[in-house]
């Protein structure tokens, strides 16, 4: 046996010893106390990261509210300049995502997430004082740099606290808090716009300044409110006791056996990319976020320029479709957890989008076209937590989980770039038909990818049932009996 193989075996034996020790020494709780602990985790973890994700989404998508409030004219955002400003955010956002899950493990969520949230809040405040297109573009690049580490770190953190058939609802709740509450940012923007002239500043500038202040304050509060990984020895402020954390570790280990974190090795981390399914999950993320970002960046503009609503109505009418999307999203997450399915949920979401897109694009009545937005917002946004749960249920190992989270978010960032470009200003007169066809193509791509993955899962599970192989094995962590979730 060579040195590397011998060392890998020693690492594996040590992890197995730790799992056994944790299993034997941990305190057991009755069903009532177990539910109380899980509710405590939900309130502290899901609500905190959901609130921070709310300001994250608001800060990256409030350009559309500012655009129709006078920013386009004051900064002379002619031709494709608005699309470029939305696009450049995702360049830095994608580039700086891969190391984020490694950094959050080293520094801890409290320091890492609190710092980057406060930092991008300050950038937002600065955007309220820009005087030209170039400065705004540069600040959007910096905003993408700081926000790059947020979503993959949150997704990774959530996945470590819950078992495989608990994450669907939690991802949905996390995303509901972010997406739905941020959608009501249109109403907030409508109110802030009326500060026009206060302090000698235009109303659209106050949108950036006030929302940036809120973000900075929440980022500072996150240092105390955020919690660490369940297996970490770092303390979280007024959270679970050591026996309760050990109980969480034991139940997650019993579900998938990968709580213990092996020593980081770049070869081990990048080696996760040899699994083709990781890239399929990423492509599903791409198709989903292309649609969700296209809606986020262009819905107020479509309502104003194409459907004929005035500025105030266009900002406020963004909220109802997202409120409906939140209810739909949580319902689909609940169904997925209850019946232990993931792929059919994604396909169902895409069918809902395929109902909404033709209504939005081709119905002659503007009010009926607005109804199509409800279907599109519900299906597209619900697919974000659904695809996250699909990925999380079908991988094992801490560093593979970290790599897959970063890859998923990286592809979602590429989807953001595509979403920034699909609705072009020159297509406004014809109802943005090319952009709608692009969204339809994304729906069909996601359905095809899920069918391919589920077919592969079916044959792999059958082989495992016959005892021909074990699934998702690796040298550093291994749990017999693992099965893929369709």
What are the CA-CA distances from residue 155 to residues 23, 49, 338, 403 (Å)? 26, 9, 21, 12
- What pLDDT score does 284 carry? 94
Residues 476, 12 contacting (CB under 8 angstroms): yes
**DSSP 3-state percent helix, strand, coil across the chain (nearest 5):** 80, 0, 20
Count of CB atoms situated within 10 Å of the CB of 274: 7
- What pLDDT score does 214 carry? 92
HSE-CB for 344 with a 13 A CA cutoff: 8
Residues 353, 439 contacting (CB under 8 angstroms): yes
HSE-CB for 93 with a 13 A CA cutoff: 27
d(CA 89, CA 420): 10
Residues 128, 206 contacting (CB under 8 angstroms): yes
- What pLDDT score does 94 carry? 82
Q: Mutual orientation of helices 366-393 and 433-465 as an angle, nearest 10°?
A: 30
Q: What is the pTM of this model?
A: 0.72
Count of CB atoms situated within 10 Å of the CB of 202: 19
Q: Which of 332, 452, 454 is nearest to 393 (CA)?
A: 454
Residues 122, 216 contacting (CB under 8 angstroms): yes
Output the CA angle 64-67-72, nearest 5 degrees. 150
Residues 475, 9 contacting (CB under 8 angstroms): yes
Q: Which of 159, 168, 192 is nearest to 58 (CA)?
A: 192
- What pLDDT score does 467 carry? 80
- What pLDDT score does 9 carry? 43
d(CA 290, CA 285): 8
d(CA 478, CA 204): 54
Map residue 237 onto helix, strand or coil. coil
Alpha helices in 31-108 (DSSP H): 31-41, 47-61, 63-66, 72-74, 81-95, 100-107
Could you read off the pLDDT tens digit of each residue along the chain, which spans 486 residues?
Answer: 444 434 434 444 454 454 444 444 446 787 888 889 999 999 999 889 888 888 887 777 778 788 878 898 899 888 788 888 888 888 888 888 777 777 888 899 999 999 999 999 999 999 999 999 899 999 999 999 999 888 888 888 888 888 878 877 888 787 777 666 666 777 787 888 888 888 889 989 999 999 999 999 999 999 999 999 988 888 888 888 888 888 888 888 877 665 566 666 677 767 777 788 889 999 999 999 999 888 877 888 788 877 888 877 887 888 888 888 888 988 898 888 888 899 999 999 999 999 999 998 888 888 898 999 999 999 998 998 899 889 888 887 777 777 887 788 788 888 888 887 888 777 777 778 888 999 999 999 999 999 999 999 999 889 888 888 877 766 555 567 778 888
d(CA 290, CA 383): 11
Give the total residue count for the chain.
Answer: 486
Instruction: Kindly list the structural domains of the chain, giving each domain's residue range(s) and its CATH number in brackets, ordered by start.
Output: 30-229+266-465 (1.20.1250.20)
> Tell me: the pLDDT tens digits for 381-416?
899 889 988 988 888 777 777 788 778 878 888 888
- What pLDDT score does 24 carry? 46
- What pLDDT score does 478 carry? 58
- What pLDDT score does 25 carry? 47
- What pLDDT score does 262 carry? 61
Q: Mutual orientation of helices 3-25 and 242-256 as an angle, nearest 10°?
A: 120
User: What is the phi/psi pair of residue 187, to 5°?
Assistant: -70, -40
Count of CB atoms situated within 10 Å of the CB of 127: 24
């Amino acid at each position: 046996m060579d040195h590397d193989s011998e060392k890998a075996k020693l690492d594996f034996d040590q992890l197995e010893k730790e799992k056994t020790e944790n299993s034997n020494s941990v305190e057991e709780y009755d069903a009532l106390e177990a539910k109380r602990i899980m509710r405590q985790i939900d309130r502290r973890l899901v609500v905190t990261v959901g609130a921070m994700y709310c300001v994250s989404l608001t800060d990256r998508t409030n350009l559309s509210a500012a655009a129709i409030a006078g920013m386009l004219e004051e900064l002379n955002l002619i031709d494709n300049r608005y699309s470029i400003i939305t696009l450049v955010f995702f360049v830095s956002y994608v580039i700086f995502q891969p190391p984020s899950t490694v950094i959050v493990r080293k520094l801890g969520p409290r320091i890492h997430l609190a710092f980057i949230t406060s930092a991008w809040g300050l950038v937002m405040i600065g955007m309220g004082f820009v005087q030209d297109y170039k400065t705004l573009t540069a600040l959007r690049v910096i905003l993408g740099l700081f926000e790059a580490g947020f979503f993959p770190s949150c997704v990774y953190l959530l996945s470590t606290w819950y078992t495989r058939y608990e994450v669907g609802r939690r991802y949905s709740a996390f995303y509901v808090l972010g997406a739905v509450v941020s959608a009501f940012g249109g109403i907030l923007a409508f109110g802030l716009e009326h500060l026009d002239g206060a302090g000698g500043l235009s109303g659209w500038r106050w949108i950036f300044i006030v929302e940036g202040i809120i973000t900075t304050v929440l980022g500072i509060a996150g240092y105390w409110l955020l919690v660490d990984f369940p297996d970490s020895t770092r303390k979280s402020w007024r959270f679970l006791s050591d026996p309760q954390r050990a109980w969480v570790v034991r139940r997650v280990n019993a579900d998938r056996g990968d709580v213990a974190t092996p020593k980081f090795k770049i070869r081990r981390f990048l080696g996760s990319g040899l699994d083709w399914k990781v890239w399929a999950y990423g492509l599903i993320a791409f198709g989903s976020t292309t649609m969700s970002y296209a809606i986020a960046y262009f819905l107020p503009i479509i309502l104003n320029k194409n459907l004929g609503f005035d500025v105030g109505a266009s900002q406020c009418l963004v909220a109802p479709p997202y409120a409906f999307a939140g209810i739909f999203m949580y319902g689909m997450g609940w169904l997925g957890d209850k019946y232990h399915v993931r792929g059919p949920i994604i396909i169902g979401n895409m069918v809902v989008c395929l109902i909404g897109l033709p209504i939005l694009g081709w119905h002659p009545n503007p009010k009926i076209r607005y109804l199509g937005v409800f279907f599109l917002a519900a299906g597209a946004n619900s697919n974000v937590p659904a695809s996250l749960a699909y990925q999380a249920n079908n991988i094992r190992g801490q560093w593979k989980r970290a790599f897959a989270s970063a890859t998923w978010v990286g592809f979602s960032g590429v989807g953001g770039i595509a979403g920034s470009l699909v609705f072009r200003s020159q297509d406004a007169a014809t109802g943005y038909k090319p952009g709608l066809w692009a969204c339809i193509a994304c729906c069909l791509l996601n359905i095809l990818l899920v069918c391919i993955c589920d077919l592969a899962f079916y044959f792999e599970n059958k082989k495992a049932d016959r005892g021909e192989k074990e699934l998702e094995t690796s040298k550093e962590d291994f749990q017999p009996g693992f099965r893929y979730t369709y």
